[in-house]
Chain A
Amino acid sequence: MSAYDWAGAFGKLNPAKKIKTPACGWCHPGGGAMEHPRKWDGTPDYSMNLVQAERRSIEPLDGDFYSHITPDKRSHFKESGVLEGDCFICHLQDYKFGPRNKQINMKNYRWAATVGAGLGKVKGAIFTFEDPAAKPGTKDYMTGTWNFSTRPTVTYNWNDRNKFTRQGKLRGSLVSKRVYTKSCLLCHKGPDTKKVGWLQSPKFDAHTKGGLNCTDCHNLVGKTEKERLEHNIAKGWHPLGSVRDDLDGTDMKTCAGCHLEGQYAPTRSDMPKEVKNPTKKHEEKFADVMFHIDMISCANCHSTRQPTMSGYILDMSAGKQVWYTSATVEAVTWAGDFGKPAPAPWKPWVTLYDARNGLGEQYIPVVPKVAQWFGEKMPNMEIRPIMLKYVRKAFGTLKNSSLVKVRDVNGKAAKRPTVGTDEHIKAMIFELTAMGFKNVVFVSDKVYELRDGRVVSYEDHFTAHPHNFPVHHNIVPIELEKTLGRKGTPDGCRDCHAENAEFFTKMLIRNAGRFLMQDYPIPREPNAEPQMYDWGFRKVPVPDELATKKE
């Protein structure tokens, strides 16, 4: 995607019609690639912005100034402007994120910051949707009219004395040095409810209840004022390893740092004066078994109630993104469903992970994304995904295309497409090969391919494996008595060391298509397995002293 499309293409929001397709620019604060071009070698060119660079670009095949969406397939930074780094997204308490993103959807990049800061109204648009209610997949989803001749105009709220002085200066009192949690949540709330079912609420999060902001743990990185001015924000550890792993843990506050090593120090009057050190309590409750504290991360016992639906299964086998929720394995109807409150808070899954933070391998809580999709196998055995529009076309030709009966998040019966049998896999591979794709494979719990006309499979633990998103937040307030092991030995041990304890036995779906066709809604072997199988356990380890007591 070129920068012009990366900023605002395909962004559409209409909650009343359950339409939410984010543009990349929605969750990007501007600057960087949204503002500057690249040099001939692909490195950034900070000497000019995209408007100036576009003026000089005369090559019709210059990919940096191409567009999938404009009538002439060229970018229009001259008319749209660029998205500069918008300080007020973080440094203004009442930032208008929705209206700002609406300007981006209209390709009014230059005007987005003005509307986001609530400084005035904008009249006019570079792009106007023909049918705001047209949904993804329909003919008119992205159709609309382009205006490259009349520049949008701003009407400032000059009479608003909270915003402007009599002369027209912006009131400095609007600018907040402190970054409040609600600013972070403008971008992070949606993705984090989808990834892990997280909610920044005092009811579900002890740190929120204690009055902490995101920035109290996720500080600006750097030892000096100058380094901190670079605005790199401390980042935790992530098993996915797909974005800036070198920043994992840099200057990040940790549970142990504050609660065990005395590093906590309030920096504001509304922060707790001190924090509890749980060592004595742990030693009382887990005498003789304190080795658990090293093996198991803090969040594993203390984050036991994820409050929102979240996303779990992502079925792309039919050429669409068909999601099912973590809380209830129900079909998602639109992007807003991930953040819906779950019928009851639920426990995350657990995996083994070495964060390379000196603590070794630990059991950590995660929410996996179990996917299935079609791709092309490369000579080096890596698999390149096939674009969904081609998969959709191939799926449409299946004579007995499979629809499965499921439930959606509103409790209604629904049908969803999937690929869940060898016959379907074979038919899809044939169809995609006929379309010109080479070495087509199907990725699910394993990698499936055709050999001598038969569907065969092989293990690939890197590709055919769930993507795990760690649960670092939502530490349950201790008074709710939902912490694992809270009763101490021996009763507390049975929270995990019991035949039916979720810590070991929570089912993890392996093959989404077969689960949907054969087992839905209850995960069963072999299409799902207890998560402990991944750790090398075939049954729950129950010490003799715990096994003697009958439930």
Chain B
Amino acid sequence: MNFRKENVMQWKRAGALCMLILLCVLVFAVASESKSLVHRDVWLKNEQGERITPLENFTDPYSPRKTCGTCHPYSTITSGFHFQQGFDEMSDTFNPSKPWILSPGMYGKW
């Protein structure tokens, strides 16, 4: 009888240990997943690339180029048409038959 009781206790302990390990794995997975979905906290920067804090440069507007561009390829991102609106293809000789049209976009259109 005692031997059987001891066996059951062992199985119960093993089961509890497995559950604990599984729980830890789940918590770790969720935490990792959550971390990868949230942008890190960042310092705002002004046009000169200096930090804006409650003690420094605190009356300056922030610069998206210097702030976001610290980590992200600002020039590549702003090469998109929404930003360029034809500016990147602009030229005085864009349309020889209609010289007042300087680009294929809204900027440089007459």
- Residues on A close to B: CB < 8 A? 6, 24, 28-33, 35-36, 38, 41-44, 46, 81, 84-88, 110-111, 113-114, 117, 119, 122, 153-156, 158, 165, 167-175, 177, 229-233, 242-244, 246-247, 380, 382
Contact = CB atoms under 8 A, between A and B. Distances in A.
B62 A231 contact: no
B3 to A, nearest CB: 51
A231 B76 CA distance: 8
B47 A110 contact: yes
Contacts of A153: 59
A233 B77 CA distance: 11
A38 B90 contact: yes
Interface string B19-52: 0000000000000000001111111100100001
Scoring B44, B61, B65 by chain A CB atoms within 10 A of each residue's CB, the highest score goes to B61
B57 to A, nearest CB: 10
Contacts of B5: none
A78 to B, nearest CB: 12
A44 B41 CA distance: 34
Interface of B: 37-44, 47, 52-55, 58-65, 67-68, 72-88, 90-93, 97-98, 102, 104-107, 109
Contacts of A29: 82-83
5 contacts: A30-B78, A44-B88, A44-B90, A87-B77, A172-B38
Nearest to A229: B76
Given A44-B90, A231-B77, A244-B81, A113 B106 contact: no
B92 to A, nearest CB: 4
B81 A169 contact: no
B85 A33 contact: yes
A172 B39 contact: yes
Nearest to A174: B39
Given A156-B52, A169-B42, A173-B38, A243 B64 contact: no
Contact of B83 (A111, A158, A231): A231
A233 B61 contact: no
A85 B64 contact: yes
A28 B85 contact: yes
A81 B61 CA distance: 10
Given A32-B84, A113-B62, 14 more contacts: A30-B64, A32-B78, A41-B92, A44-B90, A119-B44, A154-B60, A168-B44, A169-B41, A170-B42, A170-B44, A172-B38, A172-B42, A229-B73, A230-B79
Contacts of B64: 30, 84-88, 113
Contacts of A382: 98
Scoring A31, A81, A171, A244 by chain B CB atoms within 10 A of each residue's CB, the highest score goes to A31
B82 A233 contact: yes
B102 to A, nearest CB: 6
A113 B39 CA distance: 19
Contact of B85 (A32, A81, A177, A380): A32
A170 B88 contact: no
A32 B61 contact: no
Contact of B102 (A42, A88, A170): A42
Q: Helix, strand, loop or mixed for chain A's interface?
A: loop
Nearest to A46: B75
Contacts of B55: 168
Contacts of A122: 61
Contacts of B82: 29, 231-233
Contacts of A88: 64
A165 B65 contact: no
A243 B105 contact: yes
A117 B62 CA distance: 10
Contacts of B52: 156, 168
Contact of A85 (B37, B42, B77): B77
Contacts of A24: 106
A219 to B, nearest CB: 13
B62 to A, nearest CB: 5
A172 B40 contact: yes
A43 B68 CA distance: 26
A111 B62 CA distance: 8
A167 B92 contact: no
Contact of B58 (A111, A156, A233): A156
A84 B63 contact: yes
B92 A42 contact: yes
B83 A32 contact: yes
A232 B76 CA distance: 11
Contacts of B40: 172
A153 B60 CA distance: 6
Nearest to B77: A231
Contact of A167 (B38, B53, B73, B75): B53
User: Which 7 pairs, one residue from A and one from B, show the smallest C-beta to C-beta distance?
Assistant: A231-B80, A172-B39, A31-B78, A42-B92, A31-B83, A175-B39, A153-B59
Contact of A170 (B43, B86, B93, B97): B43
A165 B53 CA distance: 10
A233 B84 contact: no
A30 B83 contact: yes
B41 A171 contact: yes
A44 B55 CA distance: 38
A24 B106 CA distance: 10
Nearest to B60: A154
B19 to A, nearest CB: 27
Contact of A173 (B39, B54, B72): B39
A51 to B, nearest CB: 8
A67 B93 CA distance: 24
Nearest to A165: B41
Contacts of A177: 37, 39
B105 to A, nearest CB: 6
